[in-house]
Amino acid sequence: AKNKAAVKVALFEPNLLNARRLHRVLAAELQDSIENNEMVLHYQPIVELATGKLLGVEALVRWQHPTRGLVMPDEFIDLAEEIGAMPNLAAWVLQTALARLRQWQQTLELDPRFTVRVNISATQLQRPYLLDDVQRLLLAEGINPSALVLELTEYSMVTGNEWDLYSFQGLRKLGVGLAIDDFGTGYSSISYLRTLPVDGVKLDRSLIGGPTDGGASRPFIAAILQLVKSCNLAATCEGVETLEQAAMLTELGCETGQGYYFGRPVPAADITSSWLESFQG
């Protein structure tokens, strides 16, 4: 019945037909995007709130499309999942981020605690060979597992799949950092804090947005941070856009922050020693 309704709408909605055509075209283009070297990673700083020191970067993928310009991940990750391109893309992201990290380790003076954070999607986590991939890539690049943090959206944890926990435990044993991403959004479950073998939590930017633009109140954020702390997990807040937000989070004891206030995601070429110096507190 659902399909019938969709067809009916499509017949009377030319835009939807266009949208479907675009969807097909994009899907075909996406299949070839890695081979064509069209994927790029940008890196966004993550700083220690108390000192302003750079403690890491999050790798964020973009599609540098030959005619459509820079396409953001929200516009193609779901599509990549749908057409089965995600394993390839995910492996490319991991490999590229780790190769870059090795280069930085060799040429820049990084904080000893510096980590690269990579997003892991739901389907990736369900693959039994995620652990092998991560292990192999770390070894190939000669990277200490503790310099890699995988950010797992809570959505990816609700499947109840046995492999999920297997992957989690294996990755944890390997020494890779694991963090729950987008905490405080729709798919949240407080029970993950207790039941999953993770070491950190990333609070979603919708929480930090500030009371006037739909963010949570200070007491609410304080309570969440307390909860996270009581589970012995490290807290990072994303979406920090103002000095006031940074100050509040520092006061509330949040360890690290990420957001436009500290810096936007930048191409790898921008990450130089002078860029690094701007984070020396």
Q: How many residues bind Ca ion (CB under 5 A)?
A: 5
Q: Which of residues 179-198 bind ligand C2E (CB under 6 A)?
A: 181-182
In angstroms, the CA 210 to CA 226 distance is: 19
Contact by Cβ (8 Å): 46, 258: yes
Q: What residue type is assigned to position 261 of the chain?
A: Y
Among 91, 259, 271, 279, binds ligand C2E (CB under 6 A): 259
Choosing from 260, 267, 278, 280, the residue that interacts with ligand C2E (CB under 6 A) is 260
Q: Report how far residue 245's alpha carbon sits from residue 54's, in angstroms, rounded to the nearest whole number.
A: 18
Q: Kindly compute the dihedral angle of the four CA atoms of residues 46, 114, 203, 264, in this order, to the nearest 10 degrees.
A: 20
Using CB under 6 A, which of 206, 241, 250, 253 touches ligand C2E? 241
Query: Are the C-beta atoms of 197 and 237 separated by less than 8 Å?
Result: no
Collapsing DSSP states into helix, strand and coil, what is residue 111? coil
Residues that bind ligand C2E (rule: CB under 6 A) add up to a total of: 22
Q: Minimum distance from CB of 186 to ligand C2E (Å)?
A: 13
Where do runs of H (alpha helix) occur along the chain? 2-12, 14-33, 77-82, 86-107, 122-125, 130-141, 162-174, 191-195, 205-208, 218-230, 243-251, 273-277
Q: How far is the CB of 123 from ligand C2E (least distance, A)?
A: 9
Residue nearest to ligand C2E (CB): 259
Minimum distance, C-beta of residue 208 to ligand C2E, in the bound complex (Å): 8
Binding residue (CB under 5 A) for Ca ion from 114, 182, 196, 257? 182
Position 239 contacts ligand C2E (CB under 6 A): yes
Rank residues 21 and 264 by Cβ distance to ligand C2E and give the closer one. Answer: 264
Binding site for ligand C2E (CB under 6 A): 44, 60-61, 72-74, 77, 93, 119, 121, 151, 181-182, 205, 238-241, 258-260, 265
